[in-house]
Structure 1
Amino acid sequence: MEIRVLILEDDDDDLILILRELKKASFQPNYHRIMTEQELRAALNNGPWDVAIIDYYLPGFSGQAALKIIQESNKNIPCIVVSGAISEEEAITMMRNGSSDYVFKDRIGRLGQSVQYALKERAIEAERQRALENLKSSEAKFRAIYEHALDGMILIDLQTATIIDINPMITVLLYYEPIDLIGQSVETIFPKELTADYQEVLQLLKTNSPTTLTQLCRRKDDVFIPFDVNATVIPWGDQRVILVTIRDITDRLQFQMAVDIADDYHARWEHERELVTLKSRFVSMVSHEFRTPLSSIQLSVDMLERYYDRMTSEKRAERFRTIRQEIQRMDRLIEDVLLVGKSETGAIQPSRQMINLVEFCEKTFQHIQDQLGKQHHMVFEANQDVINASVDPNLLRHTLDNLLTNAIKYTPPGGDIQFHLHMNGENNCQIIITDSGIGIPKADQDRIFSSFFRASNVAERKGTGLGLSIAKQMVELHGGTIEFKSEEGKGTTFTITLPCA
């Protein structure tokens, strides 16, 4: 290992011994021999030097003086004094003046070890100085950030929860001067009663877990201001402290409030617009759906008034039957409209009773088949004879009537309609109604349960757009769900899942 060595030695033999011991210790000394103070000062300016070996006794230039000059140069050069016998007092003075070690000439064999130790100590000291400089630099940067931050910053004792320091922004935000807060409890700013889980926050911080919360902070004038608060534990000198950063969110909350108000107005506007649209659809639907049966009734009444005496009994019965059917049709329409209105206002409460769903569903299916489904291939299936469930029979019948009527209406004559009833797990039953009809266009499927909405491919078929809306609401009143799968031109499957109890 090559080292640059200053050797203050006037005796040639001693110089040879010094160089020999350095080489024995595996050093390759690149040395400069010095005899006078002037030579020493000049050499110090031509460094750097790894170590200085000084003869304590030099003619006209003492080892003590050399030590002093080297120390005053601040070159961080370890010095080893080589001497004959010296007094204890002289040794102490020499060490005080900065000597790393001293070696007696009669024990010169220890010189290599002493140099190794001195170089190691110098490396440790250099590293310590670098760390100290880095720490000072970090502290200076932190202090600059701390003093000029746009957020308020507070240092809090981790153990006592008292305030150690505040930055100038705290005065701007909360009006407190340092004298008002330093040494005071953190509760001066963060009232315990307004801090959620106060002790829990402290415990989290003691385990070095950063904490973020929104907190009302007490200003000096006893006004409470909302802040985002971030707290973390940092080293501070020889202790660990809580660094709390606060940011005023008054403007943000006011902006959010304005956004919420705007959203509320927009939602109300959308609701009003939807009501206008529903009203328009309702008027259009009622106008269309009532005009047809009223026209039919009017025609039958006119025929009876004019030709009653000429009609056979069969013709009269047919006209009366037409009048009765059209009145029933309008009655069902009015019932549907009223049912939707009651459901949307929460005025309907299911009147439950325990029934055998298999028997109930089969009778409902048979009734619709006899009335409307004679031109279709209709099949009812249940995987067991008895399925008991607590339902409102009237509401469930209305739901099944609507689904089966739609299946028949939108399936061409000769098409298939299937009704399946089975248990789904221990506590739920499923009703599945499948048709082979015209299906629901994909673009319409998201709105198919909306009141008065009709799919774009059903314009030629009569309808109110209420049936599926009613079915969904009635099923949900039972705590159940209704889902569907549909492909235009191939058919639709509705699946109702109901709790049995």
Structure 2
Amino acid sequence: MEPVRILVVEDEVIVARTIANQLNQLGYTVIGTASSGQVAITKALEGKPELVLMDVILKGEMDGITAASQIREQLDIPVIFLTAYGDDNTVQRAKTTQPFGYIIKPFTPKDLRIAIEIGLLKHQLEQDLRENRDRLATLLNSMSDAVIATNEQGIVTFINPAAESLTGWKQADALGKDISRILQLVDEVTETSVENPVTRVLREQQVVYLNDFTSLITKNGSRVPIGDSASPIMRHPGQINGVVVVFWDLSERRQTQLLEQALLKEQEVNQLKSLFISTVSHEFRNPLSVIQSSVELIELQGENLTTDKRNTYLNRISSAVQSMKQLMEDVLFMGKSDAGKLECHAHPLNLKEFCRELLAEFTMIHPTSAEIIFSCESDRTDAFMDEQLLRYIFTNLLNNAIKYSPNGGNVLFQLTCDLIHQLAIFCVQDQGIGIPEADQARIFESFYRASNVQSIPGTGLGLVIVKKCVEAHQGQISIHSQAGVGSTFTVILPINYSSNAADEA
């Protein structure tokens, strides 16, 4: 290893020679001496020493402190002061040059050697630190992810180009400002402000992440969906020195997700269309076949047809026509609902009288061996509801109760009016085949039918229509069912429907 090269700056020639001799004896190389500040600067520029020993008092107008400052700025060479002055004023002036040592005369060769070695070590460490800092800055500046660093007060101390681009804030404007001004976040779903992740890290002292659907409000007010993580910078265990936030633009990913969702939705719609056509075609074919065969039998037997037989065929035709009419009404209802045109037109209504009239009409149109038992446990049953939607609800529920009870059994239809909570509670209970638990979560989906219906005809639209009508009333529907035991559908509706409440909902 070559000896360290040192420049000695001392106004007294004899002292300068003494120091030079001591340095040579210690194994250092003295490249020269200077007695004035200007000469010292010139020799430093020419000789490029690795260290300068500088006296504070020099010949000429420039003192050692001024000369050291210029050498430090131009060459980044470590300077150690040699002086007989240790007063506070001199020390404070010397500190502004960031010296690497300060030796008070007189000193021994051992003092000189220790000061030089420590000064060289400090300078090397400073260079290493500067290089690491520059390397880190280069790395952060080249990252595609946005990076912002703050101190322990949440004041911005660093912002890389990606963060500048994403936030709209230039580094010169962002440095020294509170992070809350640079990183403003909003919840895309609730439209409310999101707590700044830096604030959370400083409070919780751990890494935090943004929730999904969070957007950054840029300097110009636009929104950018982002993901981010914020981590504490620890000076000592348990002591936060600052926070670093790394975030990235999710716009492309969000657009890709939206496109995938749109494609998936289109596939679902196409599947529903195919299922709709298949189901409706099948359900139309059955009553049409009944009508066709009945008409052919009437024509074939002609005058030989007895009155009873004729009435049987005519009843079959009437029933088939009624099935087709009901199917068309269901299809038209679904079309109106999907178009957003399903509205609740409420009028004064006595629910007890309505239920009795509905049952009378239902049993006339749907003759069955099962008995429908209606009960009402309330004296006051006046309400404000849409009678047509109520007919859709309970005609479908009663029809299902009868249809899916092939072995008979009574059907219970109950009405209770809770005047305290202003709710009407309807229950339709059967003793039929029930609904398997695995099917119950999907029973209100279009065209979905339980796995145990077997050959019982149906479109899978009835309960969908019921649910839509209940929701139009701002009500709720629930099911309790057990396969092989039966089902109970409970419908809860506000006694006095309010269009204002519906608009708010």
Could you tell me how far 1:290 is from its partner in structure 2?
1.4
Aligned to 1:280: 274
SS at match of 1:249: strand
Unaligned runs of 5+ in 1: 1-135, 219-223
1:247 matched to 2:246? The reply is: yes
How do 1:206-355 residues align onto structure 2 when only pairs under 5 Å count? 243=242, 245-250=244-249, 253=250, 257-258=252-253, 260-355=254-349
CA 1:342/1:173 → structure 2, altered by over 3 Å: closer, same or farther?
A: closer
Which residue type is aligned with residue 441 of structure 1? Answer: P
CA 1:481/1:143 → structure 2, altered by over 3 Å: closer, same or farther?
A: farther
Q: In 2, distance between residues paired with 1:486 and 1:327?
A: 32
CA 1:379/1:243 → structure 2, altered by over 3 Å: closer, same or farther?
A: same
Aligned to 1:186: 176
1:465 matched to 2:460? The reply is: yes
Could you tell me how far 1:335 is from its partner in structure 2?
0.7
Q: In 1, distance between residues paired with 2:296 and 2:485?
A: 43
8 Å CA contact 1:418–1:433 kept in 2: the answer is yes
Could you tell me how far 1:194 is from its partner in structure 2?
5.9
Q: In 2, distance between residues paired with 1:292 and 1:172?
A: 66
Aligned to 2:485: 490
Of structures 1 and 2, the larger Rg is shown by 1
Aligned to 1:385: 379
Aligned to 1:357: 351
Q: 2:439 aligns with which of 444, 447, 468?
A: 444
Q: 2:424 aligns with which of 429, 451, 470?
A: 429
Which residue type is aligned with residue 470 of structure 2? Answer: V
SS at match of 1:296: helix
Q: In 1, distance between residues paired with 2:234 and 2:287?
A: 83
SS at match of 1:447: coil
Could you tell me how far 1:308 is from its partner in structure 2?
3.4
Could you tell me how far 1:284 is from its partner in structure 2?
2.5
SS at match of 1:418: strand
CA 1:340/1:186 → structure 2, altered by over 3 Å: closer, same or farther?
A: same
CA 1:366/1:193 → structure 2, altered by over 3 Å: closer, same or farther?
A: same
Q: In 2, distance between residues paired with 1:193 and 1:230?
A: 12
Q: In 2, distance between residues paired with 1:215 and 1:300?
A: 70
Q: In 2, distance between residues paired with 1:270 and 1:336?
A: 26
1:396 matched to 2:395? The reply is: no
Count of paired positions: 341
Q: In 1, distance between residues paired with 2:173 and 2:258?
A: 47
SS at match of 1:472: helix
Q: In 1, distance between residues paired with 2:324 and 2:162?
A: 73
Q: In 2, distance between residues paired with 1:395 and 1:440?
A: 25
CA 1:157/1:181 → structure 2, altered by over 3 Å: closer, same or farther?
A: farther
8 Å CA contact 2:401–2:430 kept in 1: the answer is yes
Q: In 1, distance between residues paired with 2:472 and 2:163?
A: 54
SS at match of 2:441: helix
Could you tell me how far 1:357 is from its partner in structure 2?
0.9
Aligned to 1:37: none
Aligned to 1:51: none
Which residue type is aligned with residue 303 of structure 2? Answer: D
8 Å CA contact 1:227–1:248 kept in 2: the answer is yes
Could you tell me how far 1:421 is from its partner in structure 2?
0.8
1:481 matched to 2:471? The reply is: no
Could you tell me how far 1:270 is from its partner in structure 2?
2.8
Which residue type is aligned with residue 431 of structure 1? Answer: F
Q: In 1, distance between residues paired with 2:203 and 2:225?
A: 27
Give the superposed CA RMSD: 4.6
Deviations 1:143-200 (A, max 9, x none): 9997747666756696xx987x65xx8589769xxxx9799963499857968899x9
Q: In 2, distance between residues paired with 1:225 and 1:186?
A: 25
Q: In 1, distance between residues paired with 2:304 and 2:259?
A: 66
CA 1:422/1:231 → structure 2, altered by over 3 Å: closer, same or farther?
A: same
CA 1:429/1:232 → structure 2, altered by over 3 Å: closer, same or farther?
A: same
Deviations 1:120-146 (A, max 9, x none): xxxxxxxxxxxxxxxx9xx99999997
Q: In 2, distance between residues paired with 1:309 and 1:381?
A: 49
How do 1:48-87 residues align onto structure 2 when only pairs under 5 Å count? none
Q: In 1, distance between residues paired with 2:367 and 2:377?
A: 23
Could you tell me how far 1:458 is from its partner in structure 2?
1.2
Which residue type is aligned with residue 427 of structure 1? Answer: Q
Could you tell me how far 1:266 is from its partner in structure 2?
3.2
SS at match of 2:484: coil
Could you tell me how far 1:229 is from its partner in structure 2?
8.4
Q: In 2, distance between residues paired with 1:475 and 1:280?
A: 27
8 Å CA contact 1:420–1:433 kept in 2: the answer is yes
CA 1:216/1:500 → structure 2, altered by over 3 Å: closer, same or farther?
A: closer
Deviations 1:247-273 (A, max 9, x none): 3524xx35xx32x33433332333233
8 Å CA contact 1:436–1:492 kept in 2: the answer is yes
Which residue type is aligned with residue 454 of structure 1? Answer: R
SS at match of 2:317: helix
Could you tell me how far 1:467 is from its partner in structure 2?
0.8
Deviations 1:432-464 (A, max 9, x none): 111111111222212111111111211221111
Q: In 1, distance between residues paired with 2:259 and 2:161?
A: 39
SS at match of 1:284: helix
Q: In 1, distance between residues paired with 2:405 and 2:325?
A: 25
Q: In 1, distance between residues paired with 2:132 and 2:178?
A: 24
TM-score by length of 2: 0.56
CA 1:500/1:195 → structure 2, altered by over 3 Å: closer, same or farther?
A: closer
Could you tell me how far 1:323 is from its partner in structure 2?
2.2
Q: In 1, distance between residues paired with 2:292 and 2:416?
A: 47
Aligned-residue sequence identity (percent) comes to: 33
Q: In 1, distance between residues paired with 2:488 and 2:422?
A: 22
CA 1:249/1:263 → structure 2, altered by over 3 Å: closer, same or farther?
A: closer
Deviations 1:28-75 (A, max 9, x none): xxxxxxxxxxxxxxxxxxxxxxxxxxxxxxxxxxxxxxxxxxxxxxxx
Q: 2:410 aligns with which of 408, 412, 416?
A: 416
